[in-house]
Each structure stands twice: as structure tokens, then as C-alpha cells.
Chain A
């Protein structure tokens, strides 16, 4: 068993099944981030102001982010962040940086409206207690950070293969 697994391992050290699962997770999260970014960039009226002003936790901080002098920076950073993280995860470039960025962004979303007991939940499509989809997506990004799939799928595979081949040639 062990030897067979060793045979199917790629340069990353993962089995094909492991690689496929990790790549699938990466593409789905990249997809999610990128689509959110695209929707916002095509809608000039979009702003995070409402979401920030209605924060139920760390109110002073989120209210400050929503203030007139700061909100434009917050909106721009959010859109650029969503797009960059989405592109990185989909194309397989700088996956670890994207994972860190994604975790940070999701932490903001999570902390503004955390599903803590006693906190107002607003509109949700499910029932949550401490754990919600933002938190799960953050955990999934931690996995992607720990198990980057550069070599299995994406532009960095090409770059690294190219490097290897150049060296070999």
C-alpha cells in the first residue's frame, strides 16, 4: 500500500487523489472570491458601508471603517483583494499569499457579524452558532496554505516545470 502510494506521488508529495481534492477546493474558493469581486467592480453603487455600519461586534472599529474618509479605501481594498485572491487561487499563483489574504478578508466579514450567542444574526440562510460559512472558508484557506498545490495545477506548475526542464536541458 505504502509503496503504491509512493509511486503515485507527484513532486509535491501528494497522491493524485489528494492533489485533485486540494485543487478542487482551491478552485472553488477562488471561484467564490473572484465572482464576488467581479460583481462589485461592475456595480459602481456597491459599498460595504451598510455591512460595516450594522456590525454587531467591535462596533467602534467597523464604524470607523465605514466613515466617509475611510470607506473608499475599504471598498477599493476589498474589491482588489477579492479579485487578486480569486485570480491567484484559480490560476495557481502565489497560493500561500492568497490564502493569507483570504483569511484576513474573511476574518473582517466574520467579526463584523459573528454568530456568537446573544448577537443579532440579521439575514442568514441557515442557522449558525459560533461556526458559520465564513469561518469554514477561513479554515479551508488554512488547509490550502498548509498544502499548496502549485505543482499539480496552475501557472506555477508551468513555471517550475519550465525551470526544471531548462536545468535538465
Chain B
């Protein structure tokens, strides 16, 4: 009894130990956990401070107030319909299809996202499409009691009708520039799908038309609105990657739709399609449904991988690096998967040389200069190859999520690599526009989630259509002034670079750009436009 009295609560030492020994264990775990987390946080902050990347939101575009803008739709095929939805106009067929899809699967939010979209204060007043079914769908779906949509036979009648303030051009490539030029000359603003032009010469004519008219032209490279690209621009400006010597971009598709084998409409016939008007300046051939619906497969109306898909990747990088038109382009490829009568290649490799381009250097002055932009495409395999910007100091993997990996032999990060503060295998920076916070040195699990694209659903539970933002920017420039992000200068660079790739593929040699004269170098007797359009 006496023993017990000399300890707290009448317990002996043995009891005390057995009662309270959990407390120091708890304290130690607490200390260890806190120390691990706080050290990791300091390392992250240290790195973020060193990198100093500002993942800013894009500047907001202006108000959509005032009188509703009157829009004309030229070409209401697959893309034209998508563009109209971005403007807030969906066909009756699409609405009922989406309603059914949402009823079947409550996670299908396409309809609710469309309905939640901001009203851009525009009305569709006119349409022009050589296929009756397409034109009638616009009239049928978008006409209201006080605003009947008028159908015009030719684009010229439409742009000169006085019924439209602006037009959307989503036709086959060979009609892009002629229509845009006529619209601008009629004082009408233009949203034009990519590639901006189909021939080299019309690229210059269109540039003059924009400059002379003072109207707003936006080229449909909507990825310029992608938020991660603004972070990517800052990453380049801060010289995070050091000297970028190689950019690698890719297209990988392995399905009929991706190879432009679109459906042929059951109502297509010489009675429902104005065939001569479709052909326009293209070589005269008899009525051909396949040419009409799958026009991307022929040089006469489209431009294959170089105009259709290279332009996406070229503009993605040009928007970040602003490297402009390459000095030299070589391309090769062939039709290796889809031998179905097409004459545009389905495998294409393009190398664009920029011998004088520099993104800055962490090495002695003059040591580093020049860059190659590689575009590698196949329509016969869809293994996902990411876009890489490869610098002496770091590599950037570019997508909706940006990841930066320090290079093990980097000059800029040499000290941090030596101190083991950086692991070349783990991103030193990761940017996800859909997550709330920027993060550096992410864990393997976070990387796994990001790579799986799961982060997509993070942003306030809401995805925003970049085409909508691109359209909104164009409309804001019309209403409030300002320069669109993919205007005529960017479009000029895109078109010329794509044409150089197409030419090189056809000529089987390097094609050179003369920047002083702003001309693609032709050998004596060569008609470059004729070579580019040749249908052999």
C-alpha cells in the first residue's frame, strides 16, 4: 500500500509506464510526420521560387453587350455544326440526341454544359451550303419568328446581302481564302477554319485583304485558348528549359473517322448538291459523293496531314515559342495504311529547321543556337506520343497538363541535381489548369492520376469548350476592339509553313524560305502552287 502512494493516482512505476508509454510514441510519430511534410513543403517552395513560373489565367475578353451581331454560316458540315454549338446554336437533332444520352447516362453532361454556356448575343441570319440537307438544317433549327435564317446560293450573295456583320467559314480548304477575301472586301468580319489557305499565292492576297479592310479575322486554332499554354509561355520566358534544340510533335490515329473516311449522307445526289459550286477552282470532275464528303483525302480540296493536322501542332508550338516560318522544311511519307484512292499521305514526317532561333541559354554565349521542329504522323496507329520541348536544362511535356523534367546534365540545375534536391525522373514542376493549386515535385501517384487524365474533371466540375472561348475572343475584338490571338499574322505563318511541308513532300527535297523577300524559294520554271495542288 505504501508503494502505491508515492506515485501519481496511486499507481506504481510499472503501472505508470504501462499506462503512459503510448504518449512518447505518439509524440515521436507526430514529430516525424510533421518534419517530413514540412521539409517536403520547403523543398517545393524553394523549387517553385527558383522556377518562378506564373500560371496566369488568360486575360478576360470584353463584354458581349450592344446590338446582337448578325452571323452568316458558310459551310455547315461536321465542323460548321460544332462551331455553331460553340456560338450557342444546336440543331434540333443534336438536342434530342443529347437529351436521350443524358437520360441514359446521368454523367453525360454534354447537354447541360451546352445549356449553361454564356449567351454571346449573336443571331444567325444567313447560311450558305452547297448541300441542301445541310443548309435546310440551319434554316430549320436556327430560324425564329422574328429572325428567319435566309439561305443564299453563293457566298458572294451572302456577304454582300447586308444581312451579316460577320461570317464563319467552315468549308473545304480550297474555298477558305476566296470566301474570306470576298467577305473582308464586303466589310464583313471573318472566322476561318484551319488551314487558313489552300494555295501559297492566296495567303498573301488574304493578308492584304485583312490589312486593307481593318476587319477582324480569326483563324480557328482554338487551342490558343488552352490555359496550360499560357503557363507554357511563361515557362519559356523564364528560360526554365534552357536552349530548346528539338521540339517533337505527333499525330496518331487509327480509325476511319480519323483518316477522314466520313459518312456519306443518304440524300446526297446531283439534285441535292450543287457540284459545280463545290468544285469552284478545283479540277472539273464528274459528280462524286466520296469527293464531296471525304474531301480531306484529295489535294484538290484539302491538304492531308500537312494542312489538316500538322497545322494544329505547328500553331500550338508557334503560340508558345513564336518561332515563325522555318528556314528550311523537309518532309517525306506515303500512303501506307489507307490505299483507298486518296492522294494525300497517311504517314508523314516533317522537319522544320530554325538555325537562328533561340529560347535562351544557360551556357557560354554563342554556344547554343538553332532548333528543329519535328512533326511525325501516322493514321495507322494511335499509340499516344506526347509533345516534347527538349531543352539543355529541362524537357517540357505539353498537353492539358504540363510536366517539366530537369535534364540530368543541365547547367542551370547542376547544383540542385548534385545536392539531390532534384530528381530527373520526377517532374520539377507540374501545372494542371483544372486543379486548384500548382504543384512541384509531385509523387508517383499524382503523376499517375495526371497522366490518366483524371484531373480533367477537377475544375469546378465544369469543362469549358476552347472553341467557345476562341469564338468569344473573336466576337469581343469585333465589339470592343483588340487583336485576336490567332489573327492574320499567325495565320500567315501557319499557312506558309504548312504549304512548305506539302511542297517538300511533293518535290522530294528541302524547301527554303527567304525571309527578306518573304517568299518560298522556287527553282527556275517551278510553279509552286501548281505543284502543291497537283493531284497525281
Contacts and interface: CB of A to CB of B under 8 A. Distances in A.
A46 B129 CA distance: 53
Contacts of A45: 436-437, 439
Contacts of B26: 34, 86-87, 90-91
Given A153-B18, A153-B22, A165-B4, A50 B446 contact: yes
Contacts of B439: 45
Nearest to A160: B19
Given A154-B19, A165-B4, 9 more contacts: A38-B29, A68-B461, A86-B29, A90-B26, A154-B22, A158-B15, A158-B16, A161-B15, A165-B10
A31 B11 contact: no
Nearest to A169: B10
B322 interface: no
Interface stretch (B34-42, B150-158, B250-258, B336-344): B34-42
Contacts of A92: 19, 22
A120 B88 CA distance: 39
Contacts of A43: 37, 40-41
Nearest to A46: B37
Interface string B1-38: 10010000111000110111111011001101110111
A48 to B, nearest CB: 12
Contacts of A94: none
Contacts of A50: 445-446, 449, 454-455
Nearest to B16: A158
Given A50-B445, A162-B9, A38 B22 contact: no
Interface bin, chain B: 35 or more
Contact of A53 (B4, B445, B454): B454
Interface string B413-451: 000000000000000000000001101000011101100
Interface in B442-470: 444-446, 448-449, 452, 454-455, 457-458, 460-461
Contacts of B36: 39
29 contacts: A30-B22, A31-B25, A31-B29, A34-B26, A34-B29, A39-B37, A42-B33, A45-B439, A50-B449, A53-B457, A54-B449, A67-B461, A86-B26, A87-B26, A90-B25, A92-B19, A123-B448, A153-B18, A153-B19, A153-B21, A154-B18, A154-B19, A155-B20, A157-B19, A158-B11, A158-B15, A161-B11, A165-B11, A169-B10
B454 A54 contact: yes
